[in-house]
Structure 1
Amino acid sequence: MIGRHSPSTRARDADRAAVRARLDAAYADGQLSGAEHEVRDARAGAADTLGELDELVADLQASPGAAAAARVRAWGPWVFAGAVVTAAVVAGVATFRWVRADPPPAGAQQALYLDPAALRPVVVPTPSLVTRAGLEQYRADHLAAFGNTLVDKVDFFEQHASITRSVPDVPDRMVSYTYRGGFDPDHAPRTRAVDTPVVDLATLDVDEIARYVAGAPQSVGVPDGTVGHISVGFSYDQPSVRIFVRNTAGETGFLEVTPQGELIELHRFENRGTR
Structure 2
Amino acid sequence: MADSGRARRAADSVTRARDIDRAQVSTVLDAAYAEGQLGAQEYHDRVDRAGSARTLGELERLTADLQSPAFFGGHPPAERKRFGRGHAGAYPARTRARDADRARTTAALDAARADGQLDADEHATLTESADKARTLGDLSTLVAELQQRPVVPVKPKARNTFRIVTVAAAVVVAIVGFVWTVREDEPASAAATPAPINYDAASPLVIPTPVLTTLAGFVQFRDDYRTKFGDTLVDEAVLHDEHASAVRRAPGKENWTAAYTYRGGFDRSNSQITTRKRDAVDIDLAQVNAEALGAALANAAATVRVPDGKITHLRIAVDSWVGRPGITIFVRNEVAQSGDLVLALSGEVLSIDPYEG
Whether these two folds match at TM > 0.5 is yes
Aligned residues: 198
1:225: how far off? 0.8
- Pair 1:229 & 2:313 matched: yes
Residue of structure 2 equivalent to 1:218: 302
Higher relative contact order (CA 8 A, sep 6+): 1
List gaps (5 residues or longer) in structure 1: 1-10, 69-123
Residue 129 of structure 1 and its aligned partner are, at CA, apart by 0.8
**For residues 65-214 of structure 1, what are the structure 2 equivalents within 5 Å?**
125-187=208-270, 188-193=272-277, 196-214=280-298
- Shift, 1:221, TM fit: 1.1
Contact 1:35 1:155 in 2 (8 A): no
Q: TM-score, normalised by structure 2?
A: 0.48
Amino acid at match of 1:258: A
Answering whether residue 330 of structure 2 is matched by residue 264 of structure 1, we say: no
One-letter identity of the residue aligned with 1:24: V
Distance 1:183 1:162 in 2: 9
Corresponding residue number in structure 2 for 1:33? 34
Residues 240-255 of structure 1: pairs in structure 2 closer than 5 A: 240-255=326-341
Q: Judging by fraction of residues, say which structure has more strand.
A: 1
Quote the residue 1:24 is aligned against. Answer: 28
Structure 1 residues 60 and 26, CA gap change in structure 2 (3 angstroms): farther
CA distance in 2, matches of 1:244, 1:26: 9
Larger radius of gyration: 2
CA deviation map 1:148-177 (0-9, x unaligned): 100000001111111111112311111111
Provide the residue aligned with 2:169 in structure 1.
none
> Structure 2: how far apart are the matches of 1:38 and 1:190?
21
CA RMSD of aligned residues (A): 3.7
Q: Is the partner of 2:254 in helix, strand or coil?
A: strand
| Pairwise CA distance, 1:26 | 10
Contact 1:198 1:234 in 2 (8 A): no
> d(CA) in 2 for partners of 1:32 and 1:168?
27
- Write the letter of the residue equivalent to 2:155: P
Q: Cα distance, 1:125 vs. partner?
A: 3.9
SS at match of 1:181: coil
> Tell me, what secondary structure is at the counterpart of 1:241?
strand
What is the alpha-carbon distance in structure 2 between the residues aligned to residue 201 and residue 159 of structure 1? 19
Structure 1 residue 44 corresponds to structure 2 residue 46: yes
1:216–1:261: structure 2 CA closer, same or farther, 3 Å change rule?
A: same
| TM score, norm. by length of structure 1 | 0.61
Shift of 1:34: 5.2
Instruction: Quote the residue 1:86 is aligned against.
Output: none
- Alpha-carbon shift at residue 138 of structure 1 (Å): 0.9
Stretches of structure 2 that go unaligned for 5 or more consecutive residues are 1-12, 53-57, 67-94, 97-133, 137-152, 159-206
**Richer in helix (by share):** 2
Give the whole-Å Cα distance in 2 for the aligned partners of 1:247 and 1:38: 22
CA contact (8 A) 2:29 2:43 kept: no
Residue by residue over 1:80-138, the C-alpha shift from the partner in whole angstroms, topping out at 9 and shown as x without a partner, is xxxxxxxxxxxxxxxxxxxxxxxxxxxxxxxxxxxxxxxxxxxx842111111111111
2:353 and 2:37 mapped to 1: Cα distance?
Answer: 15
